[in-house]
Amino acid sequence: MRLNKCFSVISSIVLAGPVAAWVDRAHPFGRPPPPEDHQLATAGADGPSREATFQQLIDHKNPGLGTFSQRYWYNAQYYAGPGSPIVLNAPGESDASDFYTTNATLPGMFGKTNGAAVIVVEHRYWGESSPYKNLSTTNLQYLTLDNAIQDLIYFAKNVELPFDVNGTSKPDKAPWVLTGCSYSGALSAWIYRLAPGTFWAYHCSSAVVEAISDFWQYNQPIAEAMPKNCTKDMQKAIKHIDGVLSNGTAEAQHSLKKRFGLEAITHNDDFGQALIGGLQGWQGTMFYQKSRPNPLYQFCDYIENVFPDKKNRTIPGPEGVGTCKALNGFAKWSREVMIPGSCAKYGYWKDNNTVACYDMNNKDNPYYHDLSVNNTINRQWTWFTCNEPFEWWQVSSPDDTTGLVSKFLDVNYNYMQCRNYFPREGNHTFGLDAGRTSAQVNRKTGGWNVGNTTRLMWVNGEYDPWKPATVSADARPGGPLQSTPDAPVWVIPKAAHCNDVLTKNADANPEVRKIVDDILATMKKWVGEYYVGKDHPSNA
């Protein structure tokens, strides 16, 4: 192992200022947050959105168990009156907000262009919509895909909307549009397949319909989006790192980790997990953010030894800078960008430079023991991945062709975390522990095999890391789903995750604008078809 030789030439460049690039562990994917300069319509008297609550069943298979209060927001600004459409935004895996009812988003634009009210429901067990305050293994048993699906059906059929007191826009009297992106996009598609009949039309953006255990494919689109020199050099760096961890002396391994600022991390799988942070910053890329540094490209500038003085340095060609310089840049990024504040921001540690949060082998890690609904690590989503189980572990695999992830990061590492998060309580445990698999999820939902659909649209990003789990995946049997009039498919060029959802992306990119315009026109046509032959003010 040529470790010492590689690190002896480490650059002495000093950062001009702090840079935020480390992915948020609590939100591994999901719909994009509001733009920083967006003034939210408040839920008060001065804004178009209003907050309300609905009594939702704790368990749809056992109504006698009782109900809990589920929050929702509605915007009736463009509601055209009795019998007009409803746009329901399927809930995502986080505390909800009224932002997705406004015309700064595609759901809001569906409302504006169809004379519809827009509603967003908060997902059970998140925000202020949890049946239990303590998220123990026992209390989490009712956080299931089945209940999440039935929540929306039950809500649509039973909610008494303040702007529709006579129930003229119930789903049997008016078209309801179900929309979502990422998990909520998949939820929308699964409702079409598993509980059809309530919703009239569907919009599924970046919908992760195929559950995958060893989801090494997550990094394929990232590799395609990366500069070629960066891809090549990171592959060399990871190969070298794995060599040291496999065959190096204890001293060499400690020295390697110390260069990355991670000498306190003794387990190689924890170290391997930390190394993928630079890649994970890509999925949140938005076209409207061109003026700010892109986390992935900034990471690559470190790998290629050109940060921060990029203008005055020669940019390496596609051959890259080689193993030694790439390792030095990688280590520098880890120390100066990834580590500072990455643990402290979750509120469990005060030391801004601690790396204790990366020690997931430690059963005393505070992540495992915060059972509150508003925990900062998104315990609820981890339950979904371990229990349903969706899995989607972003790991290495014998089939991995990217070479961007350490071989020490595998599915067993994630299974270990499931056991630490959700210890067995009597007869209650999580799905993986009970023998369930992601393959069973796909047999239930259909996974990539979505069948023949009507009035259901798909939107994906060319470089979305989650595209390999969508209908546009290259590995999908028969190839990526082809577009039809009843089931149109749009793939946004060079886009990442959920890039059609924020209208600012359409304002910033003409290709997104064209696709969004097509989406809106298609949805307007479908909504209009509901009213053909019916006595209702024209919405077509």
**What are 399-424's pLDDT values in tens digits?**
899 999 999 999 999 999 999 999 99
pLDDT tens for residues 88-98?
Answer: 999 999 999 88
Q: For residues 464 and 480, what is the distance between their CA atoms, to the nearest angstrom?
A: 14
Q: How confident is the model at residue 292 (pLDDT cuts 50, 70, 90)?
A: confident
Q: How confident is the model at residue 7 (pLDDT cuts 50, 70, 90)?
A: low
Q: How confident is the model at residue 12 (pLDDT cuts 50, 70, 90)?
A: very low
182 is catalytic: yes
Catalytic residue (choose from 233, 270, 464, 500): 464
Q: SS3 for 421?
A: helix
Check pLDDT > 50 for residue 82.
yes
Instruction: Look up residue 301 and give its two tokens.
Output: 């500038």
Q: How confident is the model at residue 22 (pLDDT cuts 50, 70, 90)?
A: very low
Instruction: Look up residue 148 and give its two tokens.
Output: 């999440």
* Model pTM score: 0.94
Q: For residues 365 and 361, what is the distance between their CA atoms, to the nearest angstrom?
A: 8
Share the mean pLDDT of the chain.
92
What pLDDT sits at residue 36? 65
Instruction: Look up residue 315 and give its two tokens.
Output: 């940019």
Q: Which residues pair with 92 in a beta bridge?
A: none
Q: How confident is the model at residue 26 (pLDDT cuts 50, 70, 90)?
A: low
pLDDT tens for residues 166-189?
Answer: 999 999 999 999 999 999 999 999
Q: How do strand 176-181 and strand 86-89 relate by DSSP bridges?
A: parallel
Check pLDDT > 60 for residue 60.
yes
Helices then strands, counting H and E runs in the chain, come out as 16, 10
Q: How do strand 117-121 and strand 201-205 relate by DSSP bridges?
A: unpaired
pLDDT tens for residues 442-473?
Answer: 999 999 999 999 999 999 999 999 999 999 99
Q: For residues 498 and 42, what is the distance between their CA atoms, to the nearest angstrom?
A: 24
Going from the C-alpha of 417 to that of each of 143, 230, 315, 377, 385, the distances in angstroms are: 18, 31, 41, 13, 11
Q: How confident is the model at residue 534 (pLDDT cuts 50, 70, 90)?
A: confident
What pLDDT sits at residue 472? 99
269 is catalytic: no
What pLDDT sits at residue 47? 60
Which CATH class for the 74-120+164-210+447-530 domain? alpha beta
Q: For residues 273 and 407, what is the distance between their CA atoms, to the nearest angstrom?
A: 10
Q: How confident is the model at residue 44 (pLDDT cuts 50, 70, 90)?
A: very low
What pLDDT sits at residue 32? 80
- DSSP annotation of 68: E
Taking each helix axis as running N to C, give the angle between helix 411-421 and helix 379-387, from 0 to 180 degrees, rounded to the nearest 10.
120
- Where do the H-state alpha helices sit in 121-227? 145-158, 183-194, 219-225
pLDDT tens for residues 336-347?
Answer: 999 999 999 999
Q: Report the share of the chain in percent with pLDDT over 70.
A: 91
Q: Residue type at 396?
A: S
Q: How confident is the model at residue 5 (pLDDT cuts 50, 70, 90)?
A: low
Catalytic residue (choose from 97, 182, 184, 438): 182
Q: 277 or 17: whose pLDDT is higher?
A: 277
Q: 398 or 362: whose pLDDT is higher?
A: 362
Mean pLDDT, rounded, for 358-380: 98
Instruction: Look up residue 494 and give its two tokens.
Output: 């060079």
Check pLDDT > 60 for residue 119.
yes
Instruction: Look up residue 43 and give its two tokens.
Output: 């839920």
What pLDDT sits at residue 313? 79
Q: Where are the domains of the chain?
A: 74-120+164-210+447-530, 213-421
